[in-house]
Amino acid sequence: MPLVLLMLVSFANMSFRVKNTGEVILSSGTTIPLETVGLISSSSLQPGQTIDLKVRSDVKVGDKVVIAGGSIAKAQVTKVSEPKALGKQGIIELQVKSVQSVDGQTINLSSGTFGKEGEDRLGISIGLGVFVCLLFLLMKGKNAEINPGYQVDAIVASTTTINLK
């Protein structure tokens, strides 16, 4: 009998206790402010390569931090080309993919692509090649470079529940 009574009291206590779950909903469409960490150059990239970005400031839902400032976000190189003859410039395109929340979940991001083009020297190459020397037609454009601190915003792709302990 005492065991049954103890079980009933335990069940009643568990069933009616209000629990603070510490869960917060991060809505799709939330903006995540990011910036590049180091120099990104078309001379050293391959399509499919992953690049680290950094979260510029805390992302909060209400007064709760769900993605800490300084967290690492991942972007993927979608297009890269090195400078070519006839003054063609280098090109870099990146797509932001994900970031980690404070509870360790991977949050998928969407943002379209961002990137840069190097300096195009087509006009100079053709002009000098025609009027001075044909070897100027081999002149290349400049590499595309994204400097450290370049800012880009990404968007949370789908609503996610974050567990705050």
User: For the segment 134-155, what is each residue's pLDDT rounded down to a tens digit?
Assistant: 444 445 566 778 899 999 999 9
Q: What are phi and psi of 2, to 5 degrees?
A: -60, -35
For the chain, the structural domain boundaries read 22-163
Answer for the pair 22, 163: CB distance below 8 angstroms, yes or no: yes
| 3-state class (DSSP) for residue 27 | coil
Mean pLDDT over each residue of the chain, to the nearest integer: 76
pLDDT value for 119 = 47
Model pLDDT for residues 46-78, shown as the tens digit of each residue = 899 999 999 999 999 988 999 999 999 999 999
- For the ranges 4-8, 43-47, 117-121, 155-159, the maximum mean pLDDT occurs at 155-159
- Which residues are within 8 A (CB) of 63 and not within 5 positions of it... i.e. 6 or more apart? none
User: pLDDT tens across 120-135, in order?
Assistant: 444 544 454 445 554 4
pLDDT of 72 = 95
Three-state secondary structure call for residue 11: helix
What's this model's pTM, rounded to 2 decimal places?
A: 0.68
How far is it, in rounded angstroms, from Cα 75 to Cα 47?
11
The CATH T-level fold of domain 22-163 is: Lipocalin (2.40.128)
Q: Which of 120, 41, 117, 42 is nearest to 88 (CA)?
A: 120
